């Protein structure tokens, strides 16, 4: 079970915020991080979600959950240039070659 989970999400998709809230209920003991700046940052992160800089994000996450499409997944992977960290790609689009899991499977694929 990861202790620090980083989320990279396509913020224009309400499903991404719903999945983020679901993850908080599935793993209340985890620390949740998102990016503080950039295209994937949330202007007002939900309660219990820490907005941090890219260096902190990359240094502290044990798992990255990407909620979006292949472009969002590529961005998430680019944050982890110094460490090997597992990435769970949840496809919120239609094709999703890299983001392997559909949102319907998120509850079953998210590590508890």
Q: Which residues are catalytic?
A: 70
Distance spanning both ends of the chain, measured CA to CA: 6
* Helix, strand and coil percent figures for the chain, each rounded to 5: 30, 25, 45
The whole-angstrom distance between residue 50's C-alpha and the CA centroid of its chain comes to 12
């Amino acid at each position: 079970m990861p202790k620090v989970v980083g989320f990279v999400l396509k913020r224009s998709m309400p499903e991404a915020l719903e999945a983020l809230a679901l993850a908080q209920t599935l793993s209340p003991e985890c620390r949740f991080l998102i990016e503080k700046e950039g295209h994937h940052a949330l202007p007002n992160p939900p309660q219990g979600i820490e907005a941090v800089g890219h260096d902190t994000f990359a240094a502290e996450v044990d798992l990255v959950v990407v909620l979006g499409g292949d472009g969002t997944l590529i961005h998430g992977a680019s944050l982890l240039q110094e460490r090997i960290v597992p990435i769970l790609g949840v496809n919120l689009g239609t094709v999703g070659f890299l983001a392997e899991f559909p949102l319907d499977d998120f509850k079953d694929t998210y590590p508890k």
